[in-house]
Structure 1
Amino acid sequence: MSIFAIKDKMDDLVKELNQHSYNYYVLAMPTIADFEFDKKLAELARLEQEHPELADPNSPTLKVGGDITKNFTTVKHKWPMLSLGNTYNEQDLRDFDERVKKTIGERFEYVCELKFDGLSISLTYEDLKLVKAVTRGDGTKGDDVTTNIKTIHNIPHKLKDLAAPPIFEIRGEILMHRAAFERLNKEREELGEVQYANPRNFAAGTVKMQDSGEVAKRPLDCFLYSLNTDKNYFKTHWESLQTLKSWGFHVSEHSELNTNVDDVLSFVRKWDEERFNLSYDIDGIVIKVNSYAQQQELGFTAKSPRWAISFKYKAQEVETILEKVTYQVGRTGAVTPVANLKPVQLAGTTVKRATLHNANEIERLDLHEGDSVFVEKGGEIIPKIININLKKRKPGANRIIYPSICPECNTGLIRNEGEVAFYCPNDEACPPQIVGKIQHFIGRKAMNIDGLGDETIETFYQKGLVKHISDLYTLHERADQLKTLERFGERSIENMLKGIEDSKQMPFEKVLFGLGIRYVGETVAKKLAYGTKNIETLVGATLEELVSINEIGQRIAESIIEYFKKPEHLQQIALLKSYGLKLEVVENEIALQSDKLTGKTFVISGVFETYSREELKDLIESNGGKMLSSISAKLNFLLAGDNMGPSKLDKAKKLNIPLISEGDLLEMLK
């Protein structure tokens, strides 16, 4: 290969790896497996070693992670957050062990820890209080996400009196358990939003959200695994881990102290099997020399410590046959392709189906009927096809073509500009959309109708008892017909009809959420309800009027306008109104405790000791005060907590708006 070809190859690798790093660390949407990324990184490192004169000074081989997002304050790490060297085979671990022995001799211990598949975080405590939480970023500086991290239940804000250093830093990993991921991703699917690929991405995306109130609604967890201080308070890493536990920090119970590399390898092999029994994802094992004195003796390379290494598990992969591709139509009309596979064992379960995500994925894979496919289940909850074995493709096999019409109702599919999914627009006559909409309407977060479940709705639809959500409110007229159905006794029918009648008392915001308008989730429904007061105003609102409502963006506004253009939707709303459902905000829904704050306006910013921001908002509104969405000359008070945004503070000072504390607010209400 000529020197010019080598330079081109290196430049291409730098460009590709930088893009993958950006996708992983900044967008939290990786487009390549860790193993493939590490292979490319190793290839670039080899070429740089052979041709140092061609190396890029900003090569990804010299970086720890990705770039810094522009949404948060950038903070420099007091102790750099270095990455670890990775290995995928046992011989590399033995080589690492030999290198350690050459430097510090034979007498030492290893600590083995699970390598959590999440987002690295650094927590700084001063005088026993959490004062700062910073992401890894590029290893030397990261994003200040303190307000968001304070919403995680097992990260203490303040420690009890103990003999801790005046300032110390703890490092850990933010993650999301698989059950929470599946539930939240299903909600995103129902809203027609892009789903996250795995819990790691969902956790990373959550930590980077601007609204800490929304972060608090998503159940994140955090495992802590290292302590940094200005001077050594402990002799070993193991001792520091036990102390962190005694201080009340969440430390994994699965760590292990080993005296030789054979025991380390036994630990690695054990968790290669048992990792699938955990409620969260791990992608490897971290091995550290235990003694801090020996760690100092071993030292560091430019980007990683010489006293630690990471053994990464390969995502489990098997080969099987693609039997056919089917298409599922969701509540919002999104058509999702699913690969039906010849059953095969993978990661401890029998896999029969794999996600194909969308039409773009089918095209990327160039799928053909009967293909022999490689299926992976690593960080992904749902198995996915990662490649095709072209050597086994049957001659003349037909290419898989994504349909142009709905597989359920034969309506032509549409694809909105800038979106990857195709949708069936026939929401009033497409069976799975109808059933899905009614199931959504009766759900706990919407109308919360007792005595009704998803299977019951499916049965009612098949029997012709319900075709629209409004039909639920006429079921009492067909009680005799209900009694003829299997598994429907008189008591269960009575309970169901009572639940339907009781649902008429649900507030406007719940009805609005229950309608299932695309992109209108719980929070958006509440903003719309209180921003428009009634359904007539909402139906007649212009794009400009909708986007003027706090937190309503153009995409949501356009979806609302499109929804109310359909006569069928307006007819349903008219029927719901005639049946007595609440389609306006009842002004006394917020029961006034007093009128002490009447005529006063507030903005809340920061984190508070006693109350959550939502509780403070309710407190203000229940005493006659009004919440504003932003700081302006109309604002009377800025209720300021810890870590409030500097831009809000500067604007408030320029406008001479009084800053009040949590205590000041309570004084006003005495």
Structure 2
Amino acid sequence: MNFQEYSEKIEILKAWAKAYYVDDAPIASDEEYDRLYHEILAFEKENPLFADESSPTKRVGGMVLEGFNKASHKARMWSMEDVFDEHDLDAWIERVKKVKENFTFYCEPKFDGASMNLIYDKGVLQQAITRGDGSIGEDVTQNVKTIGSIPLQIAYEGLIEIRGEVVIKKADFECLNEERLHTNEPLFANPRNAAAGSLRQLDTSVTAKRKLMFYPWGIGENQLVQTRLSEKMRFVYDLGFLQPPRIVVTQNVEDVHMLYHELIETRDAIEMMMDGMVVKVDEIALQEELGYTVKYPKWMVAFKFPAIEKVTKLRAITLQVGRTGVVTPVAEVEAVNIEGVVVERATLHNFDEIERKDIRIGDSVIIIRSGDVIPKIIKVLVERRDGTEVIPKRPLVCPVCGGELLDEGALIKCQNLSCDARVVGAMIHFASKKALNIDGLGDKIIEQLYAQKVVLHVKDLYTLSLEQLLALEGFKVKKAQNLLDAIAQSKGVALEKFINALGIEHIGEVAAKKIARTFGLEWLEATHEQIIGLEGFGEEMAKSLVEFIHVNAVETKELMGIIAPVASKLEITESVFTGKTVVLTGSMSKSRDEMKAMLESLGAKVSGSVSKKTDFVIFGEEAGSKLDKALELGVKTLSEAEVNEMLI
């Protein structure tokens, strides 16, 4: 076989693989496929320098990885807002209509798997990254290359992030668990866990054996010119990706509801596990105009399927103490299986809620779990009581430290700052994904480190030694060194993440970012007057931050000295926009985030809505109702080109 023949046979094998994995319509027998596959493999072994990196033989796996490195997404991977009934969906639709009355819906099934971001450049799959915290995930490229429905090369040269769900068919999931049963391995609880676990195999040949599939549902960073999501997704499917069994693009709300009920009725017949339907705005310009909350895009929701209800018995009520000292009651129930998840605990919110619902220990109760929502008790079956049920009493002392509790009605709090639960809870939050994101430092390990008195304060993490870790149960050299490396890598974190990691009451991600951008590394010197003057800060937030600084300034400065967070204080360049309120609308050459960042650096306050107080509305192509309102109110409007000329 010469190189030309090899190249031709590669293309034939690719076509056969696509027909099998993507089209689900094989055009060659297994025998023919295997024979051609081994011909190509033999040529590649004899001529390794000429081996095509996109050859189907590269999907077999066999590489043993040492671990998974962190990797950054080009554009953030957002979570979705969940809605659970038609009333909530209609409320979301009305919010969109306030911006633009007539728009198009893009609807598709929501598969329950592991979210993945594929980065292609110059037509080649460069990197595959798990969702992680939305900004940073794990690089699982080698494992993803073993998935037959993911092209190693595409007919598009530009940089593009293709987002989607890695899933496993329900039938293949059952077969996988059967195999694990015979080999005495622990069973996967559900298909989603199986998909996620398969992606994190250090031996890529194990991933290759699992029949994983990839369904795209969106695009991140891209240079595509299409003006509608449906057009962009059609382009993606034409590149050789799997298409979901049902997609509806419509302006009719009734069509959206009809698809939802259709998917519920056919969910058992669809091969992949679904937990709802995704509803998006189709017009890209309107998506950008709607923008984002702290957590979600305002232009999409996940319409979740109805929660499955099960009857179980309330065995006991235990108490949890959080990092802020709040004592939360937890229902311990007889184990019940809800969609492959064994539920033994449920939230009770607080003791006021227990009293309102008249929940008693020993009651038969109806429990629900919908998607990722924490299981909860929705009804007590009073008619099944036999008189042995016990009315729970409000606690008087902390279940962890024995200290006296402060009962504020809905909230019951432990006031002891040295309470073990508060200290451990604070460290768990500190290491969490939304804070310092210390890989490998999970709840159980923190509890173990604290119980063994190896780590009694966050700062002790940074003096941990290999010898200390190896003395603990469950730690070998590799695991211990990986943890030490992860802790070391958390140094130099962005200041806003450091502030968020401190767990200051009422100060979340957004507030932490505002503090970091405004005060920089001098944030501990900020006064009450300066803090209350921050946009979006109320008296409660300001008081909480001032009190924290007053009590913890010395310890926090010491911790900052160890971790050396990097300030991202916004430097303002004086311009015509300084001190002005600006609204953006329409599609521009730069992304909405880039435009906003540029304007903020010029001293502008970027708002999401137009009013008489708006100074400028900057518009791009397909500008929507915001431009109309600006013209109606007589607000100064500027095109992107005019803005660029003003800044020369």
- Provide the residue aligned with 1:431 in structure 2: 420
Which residue pairs with 1:527 in the alignment?
514
The alpha-carbon distance between structure 1 residues 636 and 357, as it changes in their structure 2 partners (threshold 3 A), is closer
What is the CA–CA distance in structure 2 between the aligned matches of 1:479 and 1:268, rounded to whole Å?
A: 53
Check the 8 A contact 1:121/1:174 in 2, yes or no: no
Contact 1:414 1:422 in 2 (8 A): yes
Report the Cα distance in structure 2 between the residues aligned to 1:275 and 1:411, rounded to whole angstroms: 54
Aligned equivalents of 1:561, 1:632: Cα separation in 2:
33
**1:144 and 2:97 aligned:** yes
How far apart are the structure 2 equivalents of 1:121 and 1:222?
23
1:518 aligns with 2:505: yes
Equivalent residue for 1:548? 533
Question: Secondary structure of 2:598's partner?
Answer: helix
Deviations 1:609-655 (A, max 9, x none): 1333321133346xx6223367999998654563475899489957x
Q: In 2 relative to 1, CA 649–541 (structure 1 residues): closer, same or farther, beyond 3 Å?
A: farther
Give a deviation string over 1:132-163, Cα, whole Å, max 9, x none.
xx9555xxxx763448x9xxxxxxxxxxxxxx
Contact 1:373 1:385 in 2 (8 A): yes
Q: How does 1:98-117 map to 2 (within 5 A)?
A: 117=85
Contact 1:116 1:282 in 2 (8 A): no
CA shift at 1:521, angstroms?
2.1
Distance of aligned partners of 1:173 and 1:414 in 2 relative to their CA distance in 1, 3 Å threshold? farther
1:103-154 CA distance string (max 9 Å, x none) = xxxxxxxxxxxx98466879xxxxxxxxxxx9555xxxx763448x9xxxxx
Letter in 1 for 2:641: G
Secondary structure, in 3 states, of the residue corresponding to 1:398? coil
Deviation at 1:492, TM superposition (A): 4.8
The one-letter code matched in structure 2 to 1:366 is D
Give the one of 662, 666, 669 matched to 2:640. 662
TM, length-normalised to structure 2? 0.51
C-alpha separation in 1, matches of 2:319 and 2:429: 21
Q: CA deviation at 1:480?
A: 3.1
Q: Give 2:373's aligned amino acid.
A: I
Residues 334 and 421 in structure 1, CA contact (< 8 A), matched pair in contact too: yes
Any idea what the Cα deviations from partners look like across 1:468-515, whole Å, max 9, x if unmatched?
21222232xx44323323444455545544443443322322211111
Structure 1 residue 363 displacement after superposition:
0.7
CA contact (8 A) 1:317 1:376 kept: yes
Give the aligned partner of residue 422 of structure 1: 412
Distance 1:415 1:666, change over 3 A: farther
1:74 aligned residue:
none
Partner residue, 1:326: 318
1:615–1:274 distance in 2 versus 1, CA, 3 Å: same
2:562 match: 579
- The alpha carbon displacement at 1:362 in A equals 0.8
What is the aligned partner in structure 2 of residue 159 from structure 1? none
CA distance in 2, matches of 1:273, 1:317: 17
Q: 1:461 aligned to 2:450?
A: yes
**2:459 is equivalent to residue 470 of structure 1:** yes
Match of residue 562 from structure 1: 547
Check if 1:280 corresponds to 2:266: no
CA contact (8 A) 2:264 2:305 kept: no
Deviations 1:378-409 (A, max 9, x none): 68833332333334323353211232333222
Letter in 1 for 2:542: A
Q: For residue 546 of structure 1, report the CA deviation from its aligned partner.
A: 1.6
Aligned residue pairs, count: 413
Q: Distance in 2 between matches of 1:553 and 1:636?
A: 25
Which residue is equivalent to 2:126? none
- SS in structure 2 at match of 1:605: strand
Query: What SS does the aligned partner of 1:564 have?
Result: helix
> Partner letter of residue 545 of structure 1?
Q
1:196-249 deviation per Cα after TM superposition (whole angstroms, max 9, x unaligned):
xxxxxxxxxxxxxxxxxxxxxxx9x999xxxxxxxxxxxxxxxxxx99997999
1:628 and 1:136, CA in 2 relative to 1: closer, same or farther beyond 3 A?
closer
User: C-alpha offsets along residues 364-386 of structure 1, whole Å, 9 cap, x if unaligned?
Assistant: 22122212223344688333323
The answer to whether 1:626 aligns with 2:603 is yes
Contact persistence 2:109–2:277 (CA under 8 A): no
The 1:596/1:469 distance shift into structure 2, 3 A limit, reads: same
Asked if 1:441 is matched to 2:430, the reply is yes
Equivalent AA in structure 1 for residue 399 of structure 2: P
Q: Is the contact between residue 524 and residue 553 of structure 2 (CA under 8 Å) also seen in structure 1?
A: no
State percent identity of aligned pairs: 29
* Other-structure match for 2:118: none
Provide the TM-score with structure 1 as the length reference. Answer: 0.50
**Residue 528 (structure 1) shift:** 0.9
Partners of 2:313 and 2:333 within 8 A in 1? yes
Cα 1:416–1:517 shift into 2, 3 Å: farther
SS of structure 2 residue aligned to 1:281: strand
Structure 1 residue 578: Cα displacement: 4.0
Partner of 2:9: none
d(CA) in 1 for partners of 2:352, 2:568: 47
Correspondence 1:362 to 2:351: no
Preserved contact between residue 441 and residue 514 of structure 1 (Cα < 8 Å):
yes
Q: Give the distance between the partners of 2:277 and 2:235, measured in 1 at CA.
A: 25
Q: 1:618 to 1:467 in 2, by over 3 A?
A: same
Q: How many angstroms does 1:466 deviate by?
A: 1.4
| Per-residue deviation, residues 13-55 of structure 1 (Å, max 9, x unmatched) | xxxxxxxxxxxxxxxxxxxxxxxxxxxxxxxxxxxxxxxxxxx
Work out the CA distance in 2 between the residues paired with 1:651 and 1:549: 31
Residue 175 to residue 618, structure 1, CA distance change in 2 (3 Å): farther
Structure 2 partner of 1:259:
none
Aligned-partner Cα distance in 1 for 2:612–2:389: 69
Given that 1:118 and 1:173 are in contact with CA atoms closer than 8 Å, whether structure 2 keeps it comes out as no
TM-superposition CA deviations, 1:332-370 (whole Å, max 9, x none): 333332221222344555432222222222112212221
Give the secondary-structure state (helix, strand or coil) at the position aligned to 1:611.
coil
Other-structure match for 1:199: none
* Distance change in 2, residues 1:651/1:278 (3 Å): same
Within 2, Cα distance between the matches of 1:504 and 1:313?
Answer: 42
Aligned position for 1:398:
390
Q: Give the secondary-structure state (helix, strand or coil) at the position aligned to 1:617.
A: helix
Q: Does 1:505 align with 2:508?
A: no
Secondary structure, aligned partner of 1:319: strand
Q: Kindly state the Cα deviation for residue 320 of structure 1 after the two structures are TM-superposed.
A: 2.6
The CA distance in 1 between the partners of 2:525 and 2:113, in whole Å, is 37
Describe the SS at the equivalent of 1:374: strand
Aligned AA (2:559): L
Q: Does structure 1 retain, via aligned residues, the 8 Å contact 2:516–2:568?
A: no
Letter in 2 for 1:618: A
Cα distance in 2 for partners of 1:669, 1:421 equals: 53
Query: Secondary structure, in 3 states, of the residue corresponding to 2:413?
Result: coil
Q: CA deviation at 1:323?
A: 0.9
Q: How does 1:124-273 map to 2 (within 5 A)?
A: 137=94, 144-146=97-99, 170=104, 253-254=245-246, 271=266
| Match of residue 606 from structure 1 | 584
Q: Provide Cα deviations, 1:55-76, integer angstroms capped at 9, x if missing partner.
A: xxxxxxxxxxxxxxxxxxxxxx
Change in CA separation of 1:400 and 1:463 when aligned onto 2, cut-off 3 Å: same
Q: What SS class does the counterpart of residue 579 from structure 1 fall into?
A: helix
1:429 and 1:496 map into 2 onto residues whose CA distance is: 26
Distance 2:390 2:327 in 1: 21
